[in-house]
Structures are given as C-alpha cells and as structure tokens.
Amino acid sequence: MGRESIENWRVQKCAKACTKCEKVFADKEKLFSKLMFDDGEYVRRDLCKECWDKKDPGLSSWKTTYVEPPPPQEEAVKKENAESLLRKLIAKENEEDLNAIFILTVMLERKKILVERDVQTTEDKRKLRIYEHKKTNETFMVIDPELKLDELESVQEEVVVLLGGQPRNPPVETDVEARADAG
C-alpha cells in the first residue's frame, strides 16, 4: 500500500451543518452520514433528514445523532491514553504503525468509545474498517492488518510501551552485556 492511500485515513468530524442545504444541526438531532470516495480520497457527508437520499447511500451510510461539541478546555499535561495515541499515530501516516493503530481501535471499540459502522475492501484487497466516535461523531478509517494470533502479543506489548507502560517481559541484561557497558 502506497503513501497516497495512507493519506486517506483522515479522521473526519461530523459536520455542524448539512453538507447539502447548509442547515445547522441542533444538539441531539438525528441525521444521516455517508462515506464517499471523491477525487482519490474518502470524504464524509452529513445530511439532514430532508436532504437524505436513500437511493444514493455512497460507499457506506449510517444514521447518527449530532452532538454539540463541548467548549474547549484548558490543556493540562496528561499521560497518553489510547484515544490520543490513536490520533497521533493516524496523523503520522506511517505504514509501520498499522498494527498498533488497529489494536488501539479495537481497545476503544471494546470501551464503547468507537462503534464500527462498516467494512469495505480496498482496491488492493485489504479490509478498511470504518468507525464512528460515539461522543464526537468523528469517522476513523482503519486498515485491518489481519494479525495472526502469534503476532498479537508483540503488538500488544508495543502498544503498552507506547502508552507509557512497562513491557511484561523486559529484556534481561546478561553478565557479558553488563561488563561490556561498564568497561
């Protein structure tokens, strides 16, 4: 998968207004979201009930509720959490982060922060999982690396370290290495 495909992973927030008629959504208003592939990238369109056309669902569509974003809070120094780490890794757009991104997404799905809305197959036959953030209505598009069972533990260890934790099995320094470091 090339760099151009990774750049399509943007996290897309729910629009504040209908993308067709531009009517501003009210807090808790029901609306429809659909995912389109436009000019080489995935684009989210949010539509009010009146503008929704069920004959044109796009690549994927779902009914959702608009949630008024809370006022911005002062940034306090806080330790990394799964959601902030996921956002950082997606923003980096590195192929090497695919496994960690997927594990973090699954963690957030289990915590009921993200909801899987659809699964698509990309042109190169990879699974693209589409998630929606329950509170912010942002769309997360994540490639499923289809990890094997024997790969899970090492990826989970990597995520623990990225979150600031200690690996369960830290490398053991041998006497030879210790003497070499001391000399």
Q: What is the pLDDT of residues 100-139, one digit of tens each?
A: 999 999 999 999 999 999 999 988 899 999 999 999 999 9
What is the Cα–Cα distance from 92 to 35, expressed in whole angstroms?
Answer: 22
The per-residue pLDDT for 161 is 83
The answer, yes or no, to whether residue 56 has pLDDT greater than 70, is: yes
The per-residue pLDDT for 1 is 40
Mean pLDDT across the chain: 82
Which of the listed ranges 24-28, 33-37, 121-125, 144-148 does the model predict with the highest average pLDDT? 24-28
Strand 60-65 with 41-47, pairing: unpaired
Q: What angle do CA 46, 32, 144 make, to 5 degrees?
A: 80
Q: Comparing C-alpha atoms, which of 169, 177, 60, 151 is closest to residue 99?
A: 151
What is the Cα–Cα distance from 177 to 3, expressed in whole angstroms?
Answer: 39
Residue found by looking up tokens 């003497």 in the block: 179
Instruction: Note the pTM of the prediction, 2 decimals.
Output: 0.57
